[in-house]
Amino acid sequence: MELLVKRLTSTARIPTRSTEHASCFDVCADAEGTLAPGDRCLVKTGLAVAVPPGFEVQVRSRSGLALKQGVAVLNSPGTVDADYRGEVGIILINHGRDPFVFKRGDRIAQMGVYRVEMCPAVEVADLSDTARGAGGFGHTGV
């Protein structure tokens, strides 16, 4: 399997894996900007991808940016569907205390390719019981 990647601009960088066994590709900004603390923005990558049917691309935060500068992918993981052919954009948010300055070519996110089970949603009158039931949102006391 291959992830087909198309440059939409001459300055876009093709995603690469930083190590041999990295599960995700590093994704770079194809724009420059400053993200103030508490703000969010859409950062263009200058790339489009062709995801194989039965798969999706998930866009995630880079751990170093999150830890050191408080910058994360807002809708993490962001999803690129198999039938989308537009530009991949990364929604970043700055949870840090300082402005985050990014330049064209900076690694701002990571993306991986994951299998998706395509199943129908079927309406039913009842669901099977489980030990947990409807408990959620911290119901275990942790």
Residue 109: strand pairing partners: 27
Instruction: Report if residue 122 sits inside a domain.
Output: no
Find tokens 């962001």 and name the residue: 78
Q: Report the C-alpha gap between 39 and 119 in whole angstroms.
A: 37
Instruction: Report if residue 121 sits inside a domain.
Output: no
pTM reported for the whole predicted model: 0.88
pLDDT in tens, the chain (142 residues): 899 999 999 999 999 999 999 999 999 999 999 999 999 999 999 999 999 999 999 999 999 999 999 999 999 899 999 999 999 999 999 999 999 999 999 999 999 999 999 999 999 999 999 888 887 777 676 6
Find tokens 């942790």 and name the residue: 142
Q: How many domains does the chain have?
A: 1
Distances (CA, A) of 64 to 36, 60, 103: 18, 12, 16
| 6 Cβ contact list (under 8 Å, min separation 6) | 47, 48, 49, 50
Residue 92 structural domain: 4-115
Distances (CA, A) of 16 to 21, 45, 116: 12, 13, 22
Instruction: Report if residue 138 sits inside a domain.
Output: no
Instruction: Report if residue 127 sits inside a domain.
Output: no
CATH number at residue 91: 2.70.40.10
